[in-house]
C-alpha cells in the first residue's frame, strides 16, 4: 500500500473534522503531498468520513492521474494540486464546510483581523470568487485569492480552505479561523468590531512561527 502513513492520517483528520464540527457527512476534503515520492494521498469523493478506511484513500500524481485506489478522488482534486504545484511550503490541504466561515463566505466577504488568531491564516482571511465546485475555475480562484501569502482562505458561497506544511497545522489553522469567523459574526451582530492594524498582525505571524513546543517558555495568553 503506497503512502500508508499519509492514508491513516487522512482518515484520522477526516474524523477530527467531524468531531470538531468543521464539516458534516462527506463534506469537504483533505490531502497530503509526499514530496519524496511525488505523490498525493487524497480523500475519496462522496464517502462519509466515518466510513472511510486507509485503503479507500486515493493516490494520485501531480497530473491528477490515479496511481493506486479503487475509488474516485475528491472532486476538488485540482484545488489541492494547484497549491502543491506552486507552493513548496505546502504539503497538506484541508477544505471544510465549517458553519461560521461558510456564513461569511456566503456574504462574499473576507474575515478581517478581528482577533490576533486570524494570523494563523494571514493578516486577514481573503475570499475567493465563486465558481462551481470541482472545477478548474474554482482551483484557480482559490489560488488567485490566497497565492503564496495566505495559509487560509474562504471560497465564496462554499467554505474554507487551509494549507500548511503538515495536516496537523492545516487542521489547527482551520479550527482557529472558524473560531475567528464566529467572533466576527457575533461582533457584527451587536456592533462594529475593532480591527487590529497590519503591523500588529505582522508581529503575530512572526510570533506564531515559534509558538508551541519550539520555545517552551513562550505561550499565547
**Dihedral pair phi/psi, residue 175, rounded to 5°:** -65, -45
Catalytic residue flag (residue 198) = no
Q: Which of 2, 14, 8 is nearest to 69 (CA)?
A: 2
Q: Which of 83, 42, 90, 48 is nearest to 65 (CA)?
A: 42
Q: Which residue has the cell 492594524?
A: 197
Query: Would you state the cell numbers that stand for residue 65, as one nine-digit string?
Result: 492521474
Measure Cα distances from 170 to 92, 96, 167 in Å: 7, 11, 5
**Dihedral pair phi/psi, residue 89, rounded to 5°:** -85, -5
Catalytic residue among 9, 76, 175, 176: 76
Burial class (CB in 10 A: 0-12, 13-18, 19+), 54: middle
Which residues are known to be catalytic?
A: 76
Amino acid at each position: 500500500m503506497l503512502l500508508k502513513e499519509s492514508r491513516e492520517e487522512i482518515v484520522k483528520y477526516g474524523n477530527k473534522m467531524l468531531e470538531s464540527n468543521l464539516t458534516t457527512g462527506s463534506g469537504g476534503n483533505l490531502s497530503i503531498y509526499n514530496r519524496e515520492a511525488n505523490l498525493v494521498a487524497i480523500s475519496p469523493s462522496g464517502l462519509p468520513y466515518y466510513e472511510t478506511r486507509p485503503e479507500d484513500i486515493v493516490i494520485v500524481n501531480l497530473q491528477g492521474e490515479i496511481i493506486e485506489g479503487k475509488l474516485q478522488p475528491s472532486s476538488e482534486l485540482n484545488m489541492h494540486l494547484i497549491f502543491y504545484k506552486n507552493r513548496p511550503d505546502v504539503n497538506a490541504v484541508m477544505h471544510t464546510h465549517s458553519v461560521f466561515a461558510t456564513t461569511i463566505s456566503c456574504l462574499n466577504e473576507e474575515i478581517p483581523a478581528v482577533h490576533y488568531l486570524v494570523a494563523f491564516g494571514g493578516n486577514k482571511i481573503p475570499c475567493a470568487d465563486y465558481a462551481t465546485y470541482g472545477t478548474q475555475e474554482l482551483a484557480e480562484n482559490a489560488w488567485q485569492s490566497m497565492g503564496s501569502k495566505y495559509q487560509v482562505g474562504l471560497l465564496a458561497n462554499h467554505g474554507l480552505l487551509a494549507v500548511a506544511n503538515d495536516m496537523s497545522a492545516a487542521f489547527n489553522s482551520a479550527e482557529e479561523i472558524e473560531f475567528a469567523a464566529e467572533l466576527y459574526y457575533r461582533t457584527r451582530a451587536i456592533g462594529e468590531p475593532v480591527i487590529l492594524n497590519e503591523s500588529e498582525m505582522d508581529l503575530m505571524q512572526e510570533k506564531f512561527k515559534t509558538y508551541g513546543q519550539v520555545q517552551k517558555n513562550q505561550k499565547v495568553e
